[in-house]
């Protein structure tokens, strides 16, 4: 699959996201503590703009009256009906086996590598000293 | 109707999509003082000194915390500020144009009609009706207003209905599913008489007074329970309207039940008919209860039922009757239904036209 340069790493600090458009597809790029993940900006439920949703953690109740909170910032909640997805995998929290948001491979490469590998960089100017976020689309 | 149908058919326009009628769009005010231009000095002063207090335990908020800020889609906050649903331009861009909404019926849920003070309720309803017209209908005639009425003061309610009847800005009378008494009681009949006389349907939207517990068992713990129990309030009103003889007395009255679910419809119809066979002599009906449901009640789709097997939805639609179902989006609330993706069954062209447009044309008079 063609690899597209979509942003510099400094544009997406940890805990933030950026929406990019690659080959007509809106994709959200998320930074979870230095790891980057890409999700298609369309909720598999009714088509809401998933990547505009709130990021939150995973709340679980092992028994009534007890709540556990984990994975802070790693769960994305659709802005429409609140369906939750794992940013790392795109899997639905409530039905991970059969429902998932489409995810894209994301990697980071230095400017020199981007130039040497002749990666597609239509909208992002490439400089050797920068690091870039690359999406497979 | 043919004029409206022609205008809604976009076959010759660049936009080939069906013009959709959305029976549930929620307008909001940009600021709490937006009603001031439509209130007398007496009621402006009342608002600034006493504020609005409603039939419920809290003066300024609902009884349960909501799932999302202002109960709205998180992507519906206008970029230029203000609450979702308060900016006509953004509503036009995000919903009316995006979904090709030809007519959208406004359903203000801003407590005007449930003010504890009846005179205040009457003044707030009048002001909010004028506000809908001036702020939404005038700049965007696709948006049509609901006539809000102080339902516990039927005399004032009838006066308000009569003053708006015939104005194309107003296409229905709004009532809530939570009321002081079940809506079939005779205290509300003057409202139904005025509605029938003016050929205005009732938009019965979930919500309303908060003075009684949402469940017959008391106050539940979670918003999720309260959210679900709104469905019960709608079933109760359907049963009350039918069994207390409202449609026997007002055979041309049309009631659209909005946001109350609908998979319960066939179950209610079967059970009431069964009871009626045994206890017929207790109620003032000439026909089985289900027949009044089929002649005088409609349901709006949102929030659409989502059965595990999507095809089961088709069965539910068939039990209810395809002609009783109108589309609603609930924009900009978080449980919004998109007309393109809300149901996972493939509708025929005819079924789609009925749900998204034609059935609503049989209920509302859009002028």
Structural domains in chain B, CATH included, are: 2-363 (3.20.20.140)
Q: Do A47 and B341 touch (CB under 8 A)?
A: yes
pLDDT value at residue B59 = 72
CA distance B226 to B313: 24
Q: Is the pLDDT of residue B55 over 90?
A: no
Please answer yes or no on whether B338 and A47 come within 8 Å at the CB atom.
yes
Q: What is the CATH number of the domain that holds A46?
A: 2.102.10.10
The tokens for B91 are: 């509503």
> Nearest-CA residue of chain A relative to B74?
A79
Q: What 8-state DSSP symbol labels residue B113?
A: G
**pLDDT, mean over chain B:** 93
pLDDT: is B347 or B67 the higher one? B347
Range list of H helices, B79-173? 88-91, 118-132, 154-164
**Chain A interface test: which of B67, B75, B330, B338 (most A C-beta within 10 Å):** B75
Closest CA relative to residue A3, chosen from A23, A28, A30, A31? A23
Q: What is the pLDDT of residue B164?
A: 98
Q: How confident is the model at residue B3 (pLDDT cuts 50, 70, 90)?
A: very low
State which residues form the domain around A78.
Answer: 14-108
User: Any alpha helices (H) in B199-253, and if so which ranges?
Assistant: 223-243, 246-249
Cis peptide before B303 (omega within 30 of 0): yes
Out of B205-209, B248-252, B267-271, pick the least confident. Answer: B205-209
Burial of residue B9 (CB within 10 Å: 0-12, 13-18, 19+) is middle
pLDDT score, position B51: 83
How far does the CA of residue B224 sit from the closest CA of chain A (Å)? 13
In this prediction, residue B212 carries a pLDDT of: 87
- Residue B109 CB neighbour total at 10 angstroms: 22
Q: How many domains does chain A have?
A: 1
Pair of tokens at residue B165:
């009847």
Residue B157: strand, helix, or coil: helix
pLDDT, position A122: 79
Residue B10 is predicted with a pLDDT of 43
CB contact under 8 A, B334 and A49: no
pLDDT tens across A83-137, in order?
A: 999 999 999 999 999 999 999 999 999 999 999 988 888 788 888 889 999 999 8
- Determine whether B174 is exposed, middle or buried from the number of CB atoms within 10 Å of its CB (0-12, 13-18, 19+): buried
Which of A126-130, B153-157, B285-289 has the weakest average pLDDT?
A126-130
Q: How far is A10 from chain B (nearest CA, A)?
A: 25
What percentage of residues in chain B have a pLDDT greater than 70?
96
Read off the DSSP letter of residue B71. G
pLDDT at A55 over 80: yes
pLDDT of residue A123: 82
Digit-coded pLDDT (tens) for B162-195 = 999 999 999 999 999 999 999 999 999 999 999 9
Query: Of B328, B321, B320, B322, nearest to B301 (Cα)?
Result: B328
CB distance B212 to B232 below 8 Å? no
Domain assignment present for A116: no
Peptide bond into A51 cis (omega under 30): no
pLDDT digits (tens, 9 = 90+) for A2-29: 899 999 999 999 999 999 999 999 999 9
A19 touches chain B (CB under 8 A): no
pLDDT for B17 equals 72
Query: Across-strand partners of A84?
Result: A77
Q: Sheet of A103-104: strands edge to edge?
A: A17-22, A25-32, A35-40, A103-104
- To test the contact with chain A by mutation, choose from B71, B74, B308 the residue with the greatest count of A C-beta atoms within 10 A, namely B74
In a domain, A31, yes or no: yes
Chain B residues with CB inside 8 Å of A44's CB? Answer: none
A53 touches chain B (CB under 8 A): yes
> What is the average per-residue pLDDT within B310-333?
98
**B221 vs A: CB within 8 A:** no
Tell whether A69 is covered by a domain.
yes
User: Contacts of residue B71 in chain A, CB cutoff 8 Å?
Assistant: none
Cβ–Cβ gap B338/A54 under 8 Å: no
Residue B259 has pLDDT above 90, yes or no: yes
Asked whether residue A134 is domain-assigned, the answer is no
Which pLDDT does position A1 carry in this prediction? 64
Whether A53 sits inside 8 A of B74 (CB atoms) is yes
Is A1 a domain residue?
no
Q: What is the mean pLDDT of residues B245-273?
A: 98
**Residue B317, helix vs strand vs coil:** helix
Cβ contacts from A onto B, under 8 A:
32
Instruction: Using an 8 Å CB-CB cutoff, list chain B residues near A80.
Output: 73, 75, 334-336
User: Which whole-number Å values give the CA distances from B290 to B174, B200, B296, in the listed order?
Assistant: 24, 23, 10
Query: Can you list the alpha helix ranges (DSSP code H) found in B133-207?
Result: 154-164, 189-198
Residue B2: predicted pLDDT: 38
d(CA B74, CA A13): 22
Q: Which residues of A touch B336 (CB under 8 A)?
A: 80-81
Could you tell me if residue A5 is inside a domain? no
* β-strand partners of B178: B208
- The closest CB to that of B74, out of A45, A46, A52, belongs to A52
A103-104 and A84-86 strand pairing: unpaired
Confidence of residue B5 (pLDDT cuts 50, 70, 90): very low
Higher pLDDT, B116 or B39: B39
Instruction: Report pLDDT for B88.
Output: 98
CA-nearest residue of chain A to B73?
A80
pLDDT at B52: 80
Taken in order A34, A39, A43, A45, the sign of the CA dihedral is negative
Q: Which of B334, B338, B340 sits opposite A82 (nearest CB)?
A: B334
Give the pLDDT confidence score for residue B15 in this predicted structure.
Answer: 53
pLDDT tens profile B77-94: 999 999 999 999 999 999
Cα separation values, A109 from A16, A114, A136, B28, Å? 19, 6, 13, 47
* Residue A77: predicted pLDDT: 97
The answer to whether position A55 is within a domain reads yes
Find tokens 């709608």 and name the residue: B234
In the structure, what pLDDT confidence band is assigned to residue A78 with cuts at 50, 70 and 90?
A: very high
B191: its two tokens: 């409202």
Chain B hits for A46, Cβ within 8 Å: 337-338, 341-342
Radius of gyration (C-alpha) of chain B in whole angstroms: 20
ipTM of the complex: 0.88
Query: Residue B282 — pLDDT band, cuts 50, 70, 90?
Result: very high
pLDDT digits (tens, 9 = 90+) for B307-316: 999 999 999 9
Query: Is A80 close to B336, i.e. CB distance below 8 A?
Result: yes
- Residues 63..82 of A with a Cβ closer than 8 Å to B: which? 79-82
In a domain? residue A136? no
Record the tokens describing residue B265, joined without a space: 């419809």
Is there a contact between A48 and B335 if contact means CB atoms under 8 Å apart?
no
Distance from CA of B314 to the nearest CA of A (A): 18
């Amino acid at each position: 699959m063609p690899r597209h340069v979509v942003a510099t790493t400094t544009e997406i600090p940890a805990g933030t996201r950026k929406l990019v458009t690659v080959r007509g597809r809106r994709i959200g790029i998320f930074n979870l503590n230095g790891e980057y993940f890409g999700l298609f900006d369309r909720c598999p439920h009714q088509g809401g703009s998933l990547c505009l949703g709130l990021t939150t953690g995973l709340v679980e109740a092992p028994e009534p009256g007890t709540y556990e909170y984990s994975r802070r910032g790693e769960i994305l909640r659709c802005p429409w009906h609140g369906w939750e997805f794992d940013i790392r995998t795109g899997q639905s929290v409530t039905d991970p086996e059969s429902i998932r948001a489409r995810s894209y491979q994301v990697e980071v490469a230095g400017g020199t590598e981007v130039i040497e590998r002749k990666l597609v960089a239509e909208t992002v100017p490439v400089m050797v000293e920068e690091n870039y976020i690359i999406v497979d689309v | 109707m043919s004029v409206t149908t022609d205008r809604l058919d976009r076959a010759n326009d660049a936009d080939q999509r069906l013009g959709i009628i959305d029976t549930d769009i929620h307008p909001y005010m940009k600021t709490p003082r937006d009603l001031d231009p439509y209130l007398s000095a007496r009621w402006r002063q009342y608002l600034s000194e006493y504020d609005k207090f409603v039939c419920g335990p809290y003066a300024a908020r609902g009884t349960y915390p909501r799932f999302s800020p202002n109960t709205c889609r998180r992507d519906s906050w206008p970029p230029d500020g203000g609450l979702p649903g308060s900016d006509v331009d953004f509503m036009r861009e995000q919903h009316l144009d995006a979904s090709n909404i030809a007519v959208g019926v406004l359903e203000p849920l801003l407590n005007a009609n449930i003010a504890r003070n009846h005179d205040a309720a009457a003044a707030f309803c009048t002001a909010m009706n004028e506000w809908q017209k001036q702020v939404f209908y005038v700049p965007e005639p696709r948006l049509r207003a609901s006539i809000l009425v102080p339902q516990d003061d039927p005399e004032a309610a009838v006066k308000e209905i009569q003053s708006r009847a015939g104005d194309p800005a107003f296409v229905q009378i709004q009532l809530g599913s939570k009321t002081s008494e079940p809506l079939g009681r005779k205290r509300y009949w003057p409202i139904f008489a005025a509605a029938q006389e003016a050929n205005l349907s009732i938009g019965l939207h979930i919500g309303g007074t908060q003075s009684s517990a949402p469940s017959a068992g008391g106050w539940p713990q979670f918003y999720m329970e309260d959210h679900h129990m709104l469905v019960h309030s709608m079933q109760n009103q359907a049963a009350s309207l039918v069994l207390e003889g409202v449609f026997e007395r007002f055979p041309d009255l049309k009631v659209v039940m909005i946001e109350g679910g609908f998979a319960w419809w066939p179950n209610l119809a079967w059970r009431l008919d069964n009871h009626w066979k045994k206890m017929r002599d207790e109620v003032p009906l000439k026909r089985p209860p289900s027949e009044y449901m089929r002649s005088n009640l409609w349901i709006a789709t949102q929030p659409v039922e989502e059965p595990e097997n999507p095809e089961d939805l088709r069965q539910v639609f068939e039990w209810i009757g395809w002609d009783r179902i109108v589309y609603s989006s609930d924009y900009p609330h978080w449980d919004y239904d998109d007309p393109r993706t809300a149901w996972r069954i493939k509708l025929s062209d005819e079924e789609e036209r009925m749900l998204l447009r034609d059935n609503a044309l049989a209920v509302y008079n859009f002028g």
